[in-house]
Amino acid sequence: MAMSQENEVLLENLAKIREVLSEEIGFEVHPFKVQWYNELVEEKYRLPYDADTIGVAVISTPDMFEKAFKEYLATGLYQSGPPTQKALIYYMEKVQKILPETDVRCYFDKDEEKGIYLILTQTSTHVAGGAYYYQRRDVTNDPWDKDTKIYGFSIHPRYGGWISLDAAIFLKSLRYRDLPKREPVDCVPTDKERIRLLKMLNEDGDYWGVRDIIPVEKKYTEEHIKYLKSSEKEQENIAKKMIENLNSEDMVKKMIGNMKDEFNLF
Which CB, 13 or 123, lies closer to ligand B12? Answer: 123
Q: Which stretch binds ligand B12 (CB under 6 A): 4-12, 118-126, 185-193, 247-255?
A: 118-126
Q: Which of 35, 61, 84, 123 binds ligand B12 (CB under 6 A)?
A: 123
- DSSP of 155-194, one letter per residue? EBTTTBT--EEEEEEEEEEEE-TTPPP-PPP--S-SHHHH
Q: Which of 27, 32, 65, 153 binds ligand B12 (CB under 6 A)?
A: 153
Does 164 bind ligand B12 (CB under 6 A)? Our answer is yes
Q: Which stretch binds ligand B12 (CB under 6 A): 39-47, 50-58, 188-196, 251-259?
A: 39-47
Which CB, 179 or 197, lies closer to ligand B12? Answer: 197
Residue 94, helix vs strand vs coil = helix
Q: Which of 11, 75, 97, 151 binds ligand B12 (CB under 6 A)?
A: 151
Gyration radius of the chain's alpha carbons: 21
* Count of residues in contact with ligand B12, rule CB under 6 A: 27
Q: Which stretch binds ligand B12 (CB under 6 A): 13-21, 34-42, 47-55, 66-74?
A: 34-42
If we measure between CA atoms, which residue out of 128, 101, 129, 90 comes closest to residue 16? 101
Q: Which of 27, 65, 133, 220 binds ligand B12 (CB under 6 A)?
A: 133
Please tell me what DSSP assigns to residue 147. Answer: T
Non-local (6+) Cβ contacts of 224 within 8 A are: 62, 65, 66
Please, what is the minimum distance in Å from the beta carbon of residue 104 to ligand B12?
A: 19
Report the alpha-carbon angle 59-62-67, nearest 5.
95
- Please classify residue 262 by burial: count the beta carbons closer than 10 Å to its beta carbon, then call 0-12 exposed, 13-18 middle and 19+ buried: exposed
If we measure between CA atoms, which residue out of 227, 193, 249 comes closest to residue 60? 227
- Alpha carbon distance 98, 70 (integer Å): 21
Please, what is the minimum distance in Å from the beta carbon of residue 264 to ligand B12?
A: 51
Q: Which stretch binds ligand B12 (CB under 6 A): 85-93, 163-171, 188-196, 248-256?
A: 163-171
Of residues 186-215, those binding ligand B12 (CB under 6 A): 201-202, 207
If we measure between CA atoms, which residue out of 33, 38, 73, 88 comes closest to residue 55? 33
Please, what is the minimum distance in Å from the beta carbon of residue 106 to ligand B12?
A: 13
Enumerate binding residues for ligand B12 (CB under 6 A): 40-42, 45, 109-110, 117, 119-123, 126, 133, 135, 151-154, 161, 163-166, 201-202, 207
